[in-house]
Structure 1
C-alpha cells in the first residue's frame, strides 16, 4: 500500500559526624520530635488518608517499583529508590489534613535514619518525626502535624540497597475529599470550554534532553503545582511532531503532561513505533522522578498514548504489551498484521470517512469488534487520512472528545463522561456533518 507523506512543514559516603549533625538540627527544628518506635496499632478515630493519592519520589530503582506502589493498598507491590542517600517519597493528600500517625511497611531495604515531614505547598517542610535507629519491618509512628503533603525523607540506609516501602500510610482527619488526582485545579467542563483552543491551565514546554529509544521529544506540561497523568503522542508514516502539535497543548491545558515525539526514522514500522512509545513513557516517568528539571514531580505515574496512522498502530501495540499504559486513542490507525483482541484498556478509535490509506472498516473497526473486554469508543468523522492531523478536521470536536476520554480514563474524572456517554454527546453523534459513525460501550 502506498502511504501519504505526513510531514507538515554506590551511594555517596556520609560521615557519622555529618549525619549526627543533620539529625540534631532536624530534631531541634521539629521541637524534639518523637524518636521511639511505636506499637503497630492504628487508633479507631484515625482515617487512612493516603491510599490511592498521587505519590512522587526523588528516584525509583526501576519502572516496576514506582512511587505509586507505596500508596496502592497492596503489600505485594513496592516503591524502591536508587542506591544512594538522601532519598524521599511524598504523598499529596489533596487538601490540608491533620496528621496523627504514619505507618511505614518496609521491604528488606529500610531506612536507618529518616524523618517524616509535612508541608502545605511541597516547598517548605516541617519535620514531625526523626529517628537514627530505624529497625525496618512495620513501623507505626505517632506524629502531630498538619499539611497537604507528607513525605519520608531518608538520610541513611539500613542496607547497601535503596529505600523500599511496601506501603506508606498516613492517618488523620481531613484531606481525602478532593477531585481525582491531577484534577483539583480543573473547573467543571462545559461544551464551550472543551471546544476552545486551550483549557483552563497555563502550560509551558520543555525539550527532552538526550532522548532514549526515540529521536526527539517536546514535553508540554501545566505550570500549576501538582502531579498529572502523562501522555505520549506518536506521529504517522513520514511524519514528525508537527503531525499532532495541536493536541499536546490542548491536553496539557486540561491537566496532562504530554510528550510529543519524533521517531528514529520516518519509515519506522508500527511495531517499532510501539517500542518508541514505551521508551518515551519510561523517560517521561524518569524525568518526573528526577530533580533539576521542570518536569520533576509532575507525572503521577499514570500513562496514556495517542498516535496517528502507523503511530496509531503503535498505540495499539503499547496498549497490548505494556501495562503502564492505561488508555489510548489511535487516530486513523494502521497495522498490517495485528492481533489486538487481548487489549483490555479503554480505547478511543477516531477514524476518517474518506480514508483510503487506513480505512476504518479495514483496520480500526475489526480491532474494535475483537476487543470484547475493553471499554471502547469509535467515532468516524468526515475527511481523508489526514483528518486528525494539525490543520485538518474539526479540532474543536476532536479536542473535546480526546480531552474528555483521557480525563475519564486516566484521572477517573467522571465530570467528563457526559460528553462521550450522555446527553451532552447527542448533538454531535446525531449530526452527519460532524459524525458519520459513532459506536461505544456506554454507560461508562
Structure 2
C-alpha cells in the first residue's frame, strides 16, 4: 500500500511539473496555451484628441493653421484659390477637401470653412472657378482638378494622403460636388450645401454623402433640390440629409455652428475613418431650434 501511495504521489509530481501521462506512452510536455492575440491596431488616420460636443462646435480645433494662396496663373482646370493646412508635421499626413463656391460667387464666400476644417485636421482648398457663371458639371470637374493639383503639385502635397479626399460646395458648387462624386467614386466624402443642379437623380454616386438643405431656401428649395438629391442616392450608401431650421440659401456662406459640427463629423468619419465621430451622427439627431429635419442610415458601415 505504501508503495502504491508513493507511486501515486510521483504521478502527481510529474503532472504538476507540466507533464501528462498517457496510458502506454511516456510522459510528454503539455501543449502550451496559445499566446493572447494583440489588440486591433488603432486607426492610423485618427488625428487630434478625442472629440467632444464642445470640440466639434468650437470655432477653432486642435491644430494651428497656415495658408497658401494659389494664383490662377499657376494652375489649370480651375481658378486658383487658398490652401489652409495644419502646421503640425509630427502627426503624419492629413486627408484633404476641396470646396467650391456658388453661382456668381468667389472663394471668399467659402473662406470660413478653410481655417475651421483645417484646425480639425484636414488640408482644405477653397477654390475660385474659371468663371463665376460656371455650371455644376464644370464646377465638379474643377473640384477634381483642384484635388489633383493639391495632391500632386502644391507646396503641401507631402502633407496629404492622396487616398483620403473629399469635396464640398455651395449652391452650384454643391451641385458640382455631386458631379465630382459621380465622376470619381474613389472620393471618401461629399457635402453639397444648399446644392443646385438641374439633375435631380444621383443613383450612380458611391461616395458617402451628407446633403445639407435649408428650410427657407427659395433659390434651391429642398423639395426640388436637396430632398430629391438625397432620396435618389443608393439606399445602401452611407448618406444623410440635414435640413437647417430658420435658414436660407445663403446660410452656408457665413460661419455656422450646425453646418460645421456635422461637416466635421462627416469628414472625420469617412475621410479619416474615425469612428470616434460616429457619436455625433448616430443615432439620428433629433429636430431642434437649429435642425428642421435629419435623415440617414445608422450605424454607418
Aligned with 1:191 (options 43, 53, 57) = 53
Q: Per-residue CA shift, 1:18-60, capped at 9, x if unaligned? A: xxxxxxxxxxxxxxxxxxxxxxxxxxxxxxxxxxxxxxxxxxx
The offset of 1:338, in angstroms, is 4.3
2:201–2:233 CA contact under 8 A, matched in 1: no
Identify the residue that residue 204 of structure 1 maps to in structure 2.
Answer: 66
Aligned with 1:368 (options 221, 227, 230) = 230
Q: Per-residue CA shift, 1:281-338, capped at 9, x if unaligned? A: 11011036xxxx3x04111112100000000000000000113322100000000134
Identify the residue that residue 15 of structure 1 maps to in structure 2.
Answer: none
Aligned with 2:123 (options 257, 275, 289) = 257
Listed as ranges, the gaps of 5+ residues in structure 2 are 1-37
Listed as ranges, the gaps of 5+ residues in structure 1 are 1-173
Identify the residue that residue 434 of structure 1 maps to in structure 2.
Answer: 290
Aligned with 1:319 (options 177, 181, 190) = 181
Aligned with 1:222 (options 78, 86, 110) = 86
Q: Per-residue CA shift, 1:167-225, capped at 9, x if unaligned? A: xxxxxxx9x833332x24x0000011111101001110012251221112110001111
Q: C-alpha distance in 2, partners of 1:200/1:358?
A: 35
Identify the residue that residue 115 of structure 1 maps to in structure 2.
Answer: none
Q: How does 1:140-289 map to 2 (within 5 A)?
A: 177-181=41-45, 183-184=46-47, 186-208=48-70, 210-225=74-89, 226-287=92-153
The offset of 1:442, in angstroms, is 1.1
Identify the residue that residue 443 of structure 1 maps to in structure 2.
Answer: 299
SS in 2 for 1:230: strand
- Give yes or no for the alignment of 1:398 onto 2:259: yes
Q: C-alpha distance in 1, partners of 2:186/2:150?
A: 12
1:257–1:299 CA contact under 8 A, matched in 2: yes
Identify the residue that residue 306 of structure 1 maps to in structure 2.
Answer: 168
1:312–1:330 CA contact under 8 A, matched in 2: yes
Residues matched between the structures, number: 256
Moved over 4 A (4+): none
Q: How does 1:108-119 map to 2 (within 5 A)?
A: none
- Give yes or no for the alignment of 1:415 onto 2:244: no
1:242–1:390 CA contact under 8 A, matched in 2: no
Q: C-alpha distance in 2, partners of 1:361/1:420?
A: 23
Q: C-alpha distance in 2, partners of 1:269/1:442?
A: 33
- Give yes or no for the alignment of 1:384 onto 2:240: no
Identify the residue that residue 9 of structure 1 maps to in structure 2.
Answer: none
Identify the residue that residue 3 of structure 2 maps to in structure 1.
Answer: none
Q: Which has a greater percent of helix?
A: 2
Q: How does 1:331-346 map to 2 (within 5 A)?
A: 331-346=193-208
Q: C-alpha distance in 2, partners of 1:411/1:180?
A: 9
1:305–1:329 CA contact under 8 A, matched in 2: yes
TM-score with structure 2 setting the length: 0.81
SS in 2 for 1:239: coil
The offset of 1:413, in angstroms, is 0.1
1:180–1:412 CA contact under 8 A, matched in 2: no
Q: Per-residue CA shift, 1:216-258, capped at 9, x if unaligned? A: 2110001111201110000000111111111111111111111
Q: C-alpha distance in 1, partners of 2:50/2:265?
A: 12
Q: Per-residue CA shift, 1:386-442, capped at 9, x if unaligned? A: 011125xxx1221111100000000100000111113xx64xx231x2111110111
Q: C-alpha distance in 1, partners of 2:247/2:287?
A: 17
SS in 1 for 2:252: coil
1:341–1:367 CA contact under 8 A, matched in 2: no
1:233–1:305 CA contact under 8 A, matched in 2: yes
Q: C-alpha distance in 2, partners of 1:343/1:248?
A: 25
2:100–2:173 CA contact under 8 A, matched in 1: yes
Q: Which has a greater percent of strand?
A: 1
Q: C-alpha distance in 2, partners of 1:408/1:439?
A: 17
Q: How does 1:345-360 map to 2 (within 5 A)?
A: 345-360=207-222
TM-score with structure 1 setting the length: 0.56
